[in-house]
Structure 1
Amino acid sequence: MDCLFCSIIAGDIPSKKVYEDDVAYAFLDISPWQKGHSLVVPKRHTTDILVDDDVLAEIGHAVARVGRLLRDRLGADGFNVLANVGNVSGQEVFHTHVHVIPRYAENPGISNMRGRIDLDLDEVHKAINP
């Protein structure tokens, strides 16, 4: 199988890991919409949240833990949590993933979700993982 996220989980492709447990892996998005924008993925391969009835429940705890981590370490004031399904939605990697997008008071609202896209991931990673 040639899956980018499976390769990241296996350690074959480097990532900026922010969380990991037995069933989930989370890392900084390489094209972030906001500071701390992370992806939470199941360690087992599924293509999206609609083909597997159990996958969201399996990684739900990790989504919550990543949100709390980003809130506590980066000072996020809120979050957008979303999952794309299919090409037309914008899904680019066909391995189930949930975006956890921190939001900050100085840039509120859904229309401002794609605010900060030019970030130093090393700096953000160090803030999350001191």
Structure 2
Amino acid sequence: MSSTPDPDCLFCRIVAGDIPAEIVAETEHTVAFRDIFPQADVHVLVVPRVHEPDIGSLAAADPEVTVALLAEARRIAEVEVGGQYRLVFNTGSAAGQTVFHAHAHVLGGEIHVPLPG
């Protein structure tokens, strides 16, 4: 099982309801909310309820939650943008990660900043 919530983590505090966010969906394992600095017409973050610093750590610690996160990202993309989307995971500060709690960026519609590949 993955680690317990980190009281200093922004996303742990959103999951706990301590910081407001525009919640899109909640499941047993995940919370999804709109990014406050959207990079596309649709930009939703899907985060696990458990705290792991990045997607690789989450996959190693809790494969079941990792699968749940991916499934929820796909479901949200179906609802929000008809299933055509980018799914982005940043791992490490050199890769652009700014909040060290595993999360998926579901991006759909017009992308507002250039993304590789």
Greater mean alpha carbon deviation, residues 18-27 or residues 77-86: 77-86
2:75 matched residue in structure 1? 65
Q: How does 1:1-130 map to 2 (within 5 A)?
A: 1=6, 2-53=8-59, 54=63, 55-72=65-82, 78-104=84-110, 113-114=112-113
Please give the root-mean-square deviation of Cα atoms over the aligned residues, in Å.
Answer: 1.7
- Radius of gyration: which is bigger? 1
1:107 matched residue in structure 2? none
* Counterparts of 1:35 and 1:45, CA distance in 2: 28
Unaligned runs of 5+ in 1: 105-111, 116-130
Aligned length: 104
Q: Do the aligned residues in 2 keep the contact of 1:34 with 1:113 (CA within 8 Å)? A: yes
CA shift, 1:52, in A, is: 2.8
CA shift, 1:31, in A, is: 0.5
Displaced runs of 4+ in structure 1, greater than 4 A?
A: none
Q: Do the aligned residues in 2 keep the contact of 1:24 with 1:40 (CA within 8 Å)? A: yes
Could you say which structure has the higher strand fraction?
A: 2
* Counterparts of 2:58 and 2:27, CA distance in 1: 20
Q: Do the aligned residues in 2 keep the contact of 1:80 with 1:103 (CA within 8 Å)? A: no
TM-score, normalized by length of structure 1? Answer: 0.73
TM-score, normalized by length of structure 2? Answer: 0.81
